[in-house]
């Protein structure tokens, strides 16, 4: 069972959809247990699906970061991936005029990935991970930067200052809180209101509400 509270109507069970969020929003909040208590770091993680069913997360941290040197062994690590989120005003619900029984809320999408954190102290592994991470995020630029653009001695020095981390995902949960608990007319009002806002987060949530509504109530 997930530790995150997920009412049935907000549960997102599709691994493909959760992987899509992880790839789109790779900056994870990585929660670990240390001898001094919980620790949270914000680290971009690269998802690989070479291990089924949930995949593997790979990244790196500074050697000075105690996330790896002060880790309680045998305890799961939690990587939280945050999708879009936005405030929802009850003024968008048509039922407000009918009953008044409406309140504000917040819509969002998140994925929680659990697994043991493994430390990888290997220069070849680190270089491969850095190259993959760079290719993934540079491909949108007209002239993508690559690791080989930097002087070799500079790269070697930097690689020596970081250490690899790897998480085989053993549990993966998604919570898509996108107005599924509202009647169709309120969902339509939310979509209209968000699109009128026009900002990126509002537009992203509007699409999620629309997609969720379509999956719940497919057209004949």
CATH number, domain of 163, equals 2.30.110.10
Query: How many Å separate Cα 115 from the centre of its chain?
Result: 15
Look at residue 2 in the predicted model and tell me its pLDDT: 62
Distances (CA, A) of 130 to 140, 152, 168, 189: 17, 14, 18, 44
In a domain, 193, yes or no: no
Residue 214 within any structural domain of the chain: no
146 falls within a domain? yes
Q: How many domains would you assign to the chain?
A: 1
- Is residue 213 assigned to a domain? no
pLDDT for the residue 220: 47
What pLDDT score was predicted for residue 164?
97
Residue 151 lies in a domain: yes
Q: What is the pLDDT of residue 98?
A: 87
Helix (DSSP H) and strand (DSSP E) numbers for the chain: 7, 9
Range of the domain at 125: 8-86+104-181
The closest alpha carbon to 61, from 126, 147, 8, belongs to 126
Q: Is the peptide bond before 53 cis (omega within 30 degrees of 0)?
A: yes
Q: Within 13 Å, how many C-alpha atoms sit on residue 24's CB side?
A: 13
Chain center to CA of 178: 16
Q: Is 129 within a domain?
A: yes
Closest among 15, 3, 6 to 181, alpha carbons compared? 6
Render pLDDT for 52-106 as a digit per residue (tens, 0 to 9).
899 999 999 999 999 998 889 889 999 999 999 999 999 999 999 888 888 999 9
Q: Is position 194 within any domain? A: no
Decide if 202 is inside a domain.
no
Q: How far apart are CA 94 and CA 190, in angstroms?
A: 10
pTM, entire model: 0.92
Of the candidates 155, 156, 166, 81, the one whose C-alpha atom is nearest the C-alpha of residue 121 is: 166
Cα(106)–Cα(191) distance, integer angstroms: 14
* Confidence at residue 209, expressed as pLDDT on a 0 to 100 scale: 96
Q: How far apart are CA 39 and CA 36, in angstroms?
A: 8
What pLDDT is stored for residue 215 in this prediction?
66
Ranges of residues in the chain with a pLDDT under 50 are 219-220
pLDDT of residue 210: 95
């Amino acid at each position: 069972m997930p530790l995150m509270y997920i009412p049935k109507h907000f549960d997102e069970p599709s691994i493909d959809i959760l992987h899509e969020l992880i790839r789109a929003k790779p900056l994870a909040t990585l929660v670990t247990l240390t001898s001094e208590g919980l620790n949270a770091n914000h680290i971009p993680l690269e998802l690989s699906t070479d291990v089924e069913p949930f995949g593997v997360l790979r990244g790196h941290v500074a050697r000075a970061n105690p996330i790896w040197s002060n880790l309680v062994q045998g305890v799961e690590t939690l990587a939280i991936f945050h999708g879009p989120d936005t405030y929802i005003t009850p003024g968008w619900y048509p039922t407000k005029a009918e009953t008044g029984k409406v309140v504000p809320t917040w819509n969002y999408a998140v994925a929680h990935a659990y697994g043991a954190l493994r430390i990888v102290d290997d220069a070849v592994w680190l270089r491969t991970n850095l190259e993959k991470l760079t290719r993934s995020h540079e491909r949108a630029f007209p002239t993508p930067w690559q690791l080989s653009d930097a002087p070799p001695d500079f790269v070697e020095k930097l690689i020596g200052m970081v250490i690899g981390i790897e998480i085989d995902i053993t549990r993966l949960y998604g919570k898509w809180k996108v107005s599924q608990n509202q009647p169709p007319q309120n969902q339509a009002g939310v979509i209209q209101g968000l699109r009128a806002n026009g900002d990126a987060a509002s537009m992203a949530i509007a699409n999620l509400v629309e997609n969720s509504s379509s999956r719940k109530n497919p057209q004949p």
